[in-house]
């Protein structure tokens, strides 16, 4: 095992080795920018995705790598039509009614085969040195992205049965997709861009999103891989729900650290990945980046913590800024 | 049909607000129809009924009793009533339904397609009496600049949910301030912090829609 793997295992086991895993969350758009190629090329080619994410890793030398293209992978496979702008991630231009969501075959549908191939290629290339995480959406977010977020959110109040039906379809699809990603040798991170505290609150999260996420995490853990959850936005309204998910780690964009510490007194928590504000990668002065890294490491002292950006690195962040974040985290 | 046959105008306005707050889309439409049938003040029905209901929804959103699904359904209820009342309001007021708080341009910055937050801010601003031009999502800065040249807008609101498009927000604020230095710019969205807003030259940020309305009211007075 490599040093990066050792750091990860020690953090997840709650063993204080004095070594902290560090890494930026680099998605296809920033990686494309780094390599001077268009985002649309990268998000439509396994070869390009492997190449640019690999180059980003070799530049930043984080202790992990996430295979992430864009949030529309599942929506496309479930029947949505996408547009691929030249230099931005693709987006849905025609969504699907919940009753018409397609049952997905991961090795055939949409760009899932591309993601499976990219995951396989990156695991082969870097999997011995660092954990390579394949990413997939939680079923609620996958269904909402496919059906159109606003319409889907109103269904939660006006027609919850229809919303649940869509989430069930998405869960079945994601279980098959997860299986295919695990077969590549990747570890797993489930991204929840729409099943968030700030958008849903605890009641809806519990009713529509919680169980499907737990199902996927348990499936991944049964296969013996590391499994984490990334929650976008403000996690405070659902933090008690998030810590009840049997994940190895939680990657949180925004949360109350004091509350986290209170919860840690009451129960064993998953490791925490995060929570360096990504805006600082655009506007922060070197001393601000250093200060923030030091502050976060200070407040998380004694807790299982993986030092990472709170969310994806901004597309136009300069490599020097990202490097400053990594260097500061390594020093401290 | 709501039990409203013996309601006075004031009581009906309270009922309208309650109906929006209760997320009752059909009921709100029925009450708005009664306002029309009885020839009550349409302007009062919009401001003291529908908008008041939406303001109360905003308070519940702020205190985490309501979240985005409830706000979106409340908005449907408000618009069900508004769409019925608006034609008469236009006749009464000679073409305008806003109450003169000011003109606001809203948009999600280029590269980002998440517009739920922006849509909620729009609803709340309209409920508060602002007139809003909604440019939608994935908006190029030159489109915003073009619009700003057409009317006397006082505020631009920009949002992004994604960290990857914070760079677009920075660029948009820079351009707006360069070409229209008197226009106030407010920014928002999950990854936008106070310090980021300050760094990029925005006039303020808020963590939720209620805060955005309070900020807009403050900026409109400056």
Residue B137 covered by a domain:
yes
Does residue B7 sit in the same domain as residue B73? yes
Tokens standing for A38? 């268009």
Q: Is residue B38 part of a domain?
A: yes
- Cis peptide bond N-terminal to A64, omega within 30: no
Q: A279–B196: do the CB atoms touch at under 8 Å?
A: yes
Question: Is residue B111 located within the same domain as residue B206?
Answer: yes
Element (H, E) at A296: helix A286-299
Least confident of A158-162, A206-210, A268-272, B4-8: B4-8
Average pLDDT over residues A11-22: 82
Region of poorest pLDDT, from A11-20, A149-158, B144-153, B174-183: A11-20
Q: Give the residue-averaged pLDDT of A290-311.
A: 93
Distance CA A114, CA B188 (A): 34
CATH of the domain at B148: 3.40.50.280
- Examine the domain organization and report whether B86 and B113 are in the same domain: no
The rounded distance, in Å, linking the Cα atoms of A128 and A1 is: 7
Nearest to A135 by CA among A190, A179, A89, A79: A190
Distance, in Å, from the CA atom of A133 to the CA atom of A12, rounded to the nearest integer, reads 15
Handedness of CA A224, A226, A232, A234 (dihedral sign): positive
User: Has residue A132 got a pLDDT over 70?
Assistant: yes
Highest mean pLDDT: which of A319-323, B46-50, B91-95?
A: A319-323
Q: Alpha carbon of A171 to those of A136, A209, A215, A232, B13: distances in Å? A: 11, 10, 9, 20, 45
Length of chain A as a residue count:
332
Is B126 part of a structural domain of the chain?
A: yes
Q: What is the pLDDT of residue B59?
A: 85
Structure tokens at B162: 């994604």
Take residue A250 and report the two structure tokens written for it.
Answer: 């939680």
User: How far is Cα A14 from Cα A271, in angstroms, rounded to an integer?
Assistant: 8
User: Which one of B136, B162, B168 makes the best mutation probe of the A interface by having the most chain A beta carbons within 10 Å?
Assistant: B162
State whether B207 and B107 are in the same domain: yes
Task: For residue B69, give how far its alpha carbon lies from the nearest alpha carbon of chain A (Å).
Answer: 5
Radius of gyration of chain B (CA): 18
Query: To the nearest whole angstrom, how far is the Cα of B12 from the nearest Cα of chain A?
Result: 25
- Whether pLDDT at B95 is above 70: no
Interchain pair B161, A201: CB under 8 A: no
Does B107 share its domain with B87? no
Q: Are residues B116 and B211 in the same domain?
A: yes
The total number of structural domains that make up chain B: 2
Cα Dmax for chain A: 53
d(CA B76, CA B122): 13
Residue B97, C-beta contacts closer than 8 angstroms, at least 6 positions apart: B46, B86, B89, B90
Shared domain check, B166 and B211:
yes
Q: What's the per-residue H, E or C state across A154-196?
A: HHHHHCHHHHHHHHHHHHHHHHHHHHHHHHCCCEEEEEECCCC
State the Cα–Cα distance between residues A12 and A72, nearest whole angstrom. Answer: 30
Q: Of B92, B122, B155, at which residue does a domain stop?
A: B92
Yes or no, beta carbons of A30 and B164 under 8 Å apart: yes
**Final residue of a domain: which of B49, B72, B92?**
B92
Q: Flag whether pLDDT at A295 surpasses 90.
A: yes
Interchain CB distance below 8 Å, B196 and A158? no
- Shortest distance, CA B8 to any CA of chain A (angstroms): 30
HSE-up of A319 (CA within 13 Å, CB side)?
14
Cβ-contact B73, A157 below 8 angstroms: yes
Q: Name B187's bridge partners.
A: B158, B205
| In-domain check, residue B44 | yes
| pLDDT at position B183 | 95
ipTM of model: 0.91
Contacts of A34-43 spanning 24+ positions with Cβ under 8 A: A34/A59, A34/A319, A38/A86, A38/A87, A39/A85, A39/A86, A39/A87, A39/A88, A39/A89, A39/A315, A40/A84, A40/A85, A40/A86, A40/A87, A40/A90, A42/A69, A43/A69, A43/A70, A43/A84, A43/A89, A43/A90, A43/A111
Q: Give A204's pLDDT tier (boundaries 50, 70, 90).
A: very high
Question: For residue A127, which of A182, A180, A79 has the smallest C-alpha distance?
Answer: A182
CA distance A117 to A107: 9
**B39 found inside a domain:** yes
A91 and B113: CB-CB below 8 Å? yes
pTM of the model: 0.87
CA atoms within 13 A on the CB side of B126: 20
| Nearest-neighbour CA in chain B from A316: distance (Å) | 6
Q: Tell me the per-residue pLDDT of B18-59, one tens digit each, with 9 for 90 and over.
A: 999 999 999 999 999 999 999 998 888 987 899 889 888 888
Helix (H) or strand (E) run with residue B57 in it: helix B51-62
**Over the range A258-285, which residues count as b (16 or more CB within 10 Å of their CB) and which as e?**
eebeebeeeeebbbbbbbbbbbbbbbbe
CATH number at residue B83: 1.10.1240.10
What gap in Å lies between CA A202 and CA A239, rounded to an integer? 9
CA distance A87 to chain B (A): 8
Residue B111 inside a domain? The answer is: yes
Q: Minimal Cα–Cα distance from A292 to chain B, Å?
A: 12
Q: Check CB contact under 8 Å for A283 and B196.
A: yes
pLDDT number for residue B61: 86
Q: B48 lies in which domain range?
A: 2-92
Average pLDDT value over all residues in chain A: 95
Q: Do A88 and B76 touch (CB under 8 A)?
A: no
Strand locations in chain A (E): 22-25, 65-67, 81-83, 91-94, 132-137, 187-192, 227-234, 249-254, 271-276, 305-312
Judge whether B193 and B201 are in contact, CB under 8 Å: no
Same-domain check for residues B113 and B68 = no
| Banded model confidence at residue A293, pLDDT cuts 50, 70, 90 | very high
Residues B215, B126, single domain; the answer is: yes
Q: Strand pairing partners for B184?
A: B155
Of the residues A198, A287, A318, the best mutation for testing chain B's interface (the one with the most B CB atoms within 10 Å of its CB) is A198
DSSP state for residue B109 in the 8-state scheme = B
Residue B98 lies in a domain: no
Q: How far apart are CA B134 and CA B156, in angstroms?
A: 10
The pLDDT of residue B155 = 96
CA–CA gap between residue A201 and residue A290 (Å, rounded): 33
Model confidence at A194: pLDDT above 60 = yes
Which of the residues A34, A69, A315 would you substitute to probe the B interface, choosing the one with the greatest number of B C-beta atoms within 10 Å? Answer: A315
Q: Examine the pLDDT at B101 and tell me if it is beyond 90.
A: no
**Do A17 and A62 contact (CB within 8 A), yes or no?**
no
Across residues B177-206, what is the average pLDDT?
Answer: 92
B133 and B46 in a single domain? The answer is no
**Residues B63, B136 within the same domain:** no
With CA atoms as reference, the chain A residue closest to B189 would be A233
Lowest mean pLDDT among A78-87, A273-282, B41-50: B41-50
Distance from CA of B61 to the nearest CA of A (A): 10
Nearest to A66 by CA among A52, A77, A87, A78: A52
Interface test with B, best of A283, A310, A313, A318 (most B CBs within 10 A): A283
Are A154 and B190 within 8 A, CB to CB? Answer: no
Q: What is the pLDDT of residue B86?
A: 81
Q: For residues A215 and A326, what is the distance between their CA atoms, to the nearest angstrom?
A: 34
- Which residue in chain A has the smallest CA separation from B196? A279
More confident residue, B42 or A327: A327
Q: Look at A199 and B170 and tell me if their CB atoms are within 8 Å.
A: no
Could you tell me if A71 and A193 are in contact, meaning their C-beta atoms sit under 8 angstroms apart? Answer: yes
B39 and B134 in a common domain: no
Range A3-15 burial, b when 16+ CB lie within 10 A, else e:
ebbebbebbbeee
Of B92, B123, B158, which residue is a domain's last? B92
Predicted pLDDT at B3: 55
Task: Give the gap in angstroms from C-alpha A207 to the nearest C-alpha of chain B.
Answer: 13
Interface of B with A (CB under 8 A): 23, 25, 64, 66-70, 72-73, 76, 110-111, 113-114, 116, 119, 138, 161-168, 170, 190-193, 195-196, 199-200, 207
Residues belonging to chain A with any Cβ–Cβ distance to chain B shorter than 8 Å: 27, 29-30, 85, 87-89, 91-92, 149-150, 153-154, 156-158, 198-201, 203-204, 232-234, 237, 253-254, 277-280, 282-284, 309-317
| B97 domain-assigned | no
Evaluate if residue B163 carries a pLDDT over 90. Answer: no
- How far B115 CA lies from chain A's nearest CA (Å)? 9
Residue B221 banded pLDDT, cuts 50, 70, 90:
confident
Judged on CB neighbours under 10 Å (0-12, 13-18, 19+), A230 is: buried
Smallest CA–CA distance from A84 into chain B, residue: B111
8 Å CB contact of B164 and A283:
no
Q: Are A31 and A55 in contact (CB under 8 A)?
A: yes
Report the C-alpha gap between A58 and A65 in whole angstroms: 10
CB contact under 8 A, B67 and A89: no
B193 φψ region: left (φ > 0), alpha (ψ -120 to 50), beta (else): beta
Q: How confident is the model at residue B164 (pLDDT cuts 50, 70, 90)?
A: confident
Distance CA A104, CA A94 (A): 18
- Sort out which chain B residues have CB atoms less than 8 A from A237's CB and list them: 64, 67
């Amino acid at each position: 095992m490599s040093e990066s793997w050792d750091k990860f295992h020690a953090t997840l086991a709650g063993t204080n080795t004095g070594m902290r895993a560090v890494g930026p969350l680099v998605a296809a758009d920033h990686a494309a920018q780094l390599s001077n190629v268009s985002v649309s090329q990268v998000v439509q080619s396994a070869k390009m995705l492997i190449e640019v994410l690999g180059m980003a890793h070799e530049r930043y030398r984080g202790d992990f790598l996430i295979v992430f293209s864009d949030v529309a992978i599942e929506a496309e496979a479930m029947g949505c039509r996408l547009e691929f702008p030249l230099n931005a991630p693709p987006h849905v231009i025609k969504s699907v009614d919940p009753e018409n969501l397609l049952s997905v075959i991961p090795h055939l549908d949409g760009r899932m085969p591309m993601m499976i191939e990219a995951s396989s290629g990156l695991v082969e290339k870097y999997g011995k040195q660092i954990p390579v995480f394949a990413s997939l959406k939680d079923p609620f977010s996958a269904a909402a992205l496919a059906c159109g977020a606003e319409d889907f959110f109103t269904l939660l109040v006006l027609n919850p049965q229809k919303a649940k039906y869509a989430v069930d379809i998405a869960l079945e699809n994601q279980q098959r997709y997860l299986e295919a990603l695990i077969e590549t040798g990747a570890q797993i991170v489930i991204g929840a861009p729409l099943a968030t505290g700030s958008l849903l609150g605890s009641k809806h999260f519990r009713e529509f999103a919680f169980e499907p996420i737990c199902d996927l995490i348990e499936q991944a853990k049964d296969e013996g891989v590391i499994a984490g959850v990334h929650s976008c936005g403000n996690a405070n309204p659902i933090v008690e729900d998030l810590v009840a998910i049997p994940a190895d780690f939680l990657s949180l964009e925004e949360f109350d650290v004091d509350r986290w510490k209170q919860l840690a007194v009451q129960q064993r928590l998953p490791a925490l990945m995060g929570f360096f504000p990504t805006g600082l990668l655009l506007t922060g002065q070197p001393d601000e980046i250093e200060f923030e890294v030091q502050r976060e490491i200070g407040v998380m002292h004694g807790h299982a913590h993986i030092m990472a950006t709170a969310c994806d690195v901004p597309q136009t962040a300069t490599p020097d800024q990202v490097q400053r974040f990594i260097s500061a985290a390594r020093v401290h | 049909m709501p039990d409203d046959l013996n309601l006075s105008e004031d009581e009906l306005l309270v009922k309208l607000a309650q109906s929006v707050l209760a997320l009752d889309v059909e009921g709100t439409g029925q009450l708005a129809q009664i306002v029309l049938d009885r020839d009550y003040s349409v302007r009062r029905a919009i401001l003291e009924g529908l908008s008041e209901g939406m303001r109360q929804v905003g308070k519940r959103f702020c205190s985490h009793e309501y979240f985005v699904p409830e706000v979106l359904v409340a908005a449907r209820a408000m618009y069900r009533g508004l769409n019925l009342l608006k034609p008469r309001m236009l006749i009464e007021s000679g073409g305008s339904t806003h109450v003169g708080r000011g003109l606001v341009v809203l948009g999600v910055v280029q590269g980002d397609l998440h517009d739920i937050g922006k849509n909620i801010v729009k609803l709340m601003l309209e409920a508060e009496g602002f007139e809003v031009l909604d440019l939608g999502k994935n908006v190029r800065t030159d489109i915003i600049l073009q619009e700003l040249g057409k009317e006397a807008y006082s505020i631009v609101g920009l949002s992004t949910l994604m960290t990857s498009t914070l760079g677009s927000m920075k660029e948009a604020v820079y351009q707006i301030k360069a070409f229209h230095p008197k226009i106030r710019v407010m920014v928002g969205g999950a990854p936008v912090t106070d310090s980021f807003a300050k760094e990029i030259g925005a006039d303020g940020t808020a963590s939720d829609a209620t805060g955005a309305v309070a900020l807009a009211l403050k900026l409109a007075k400056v």
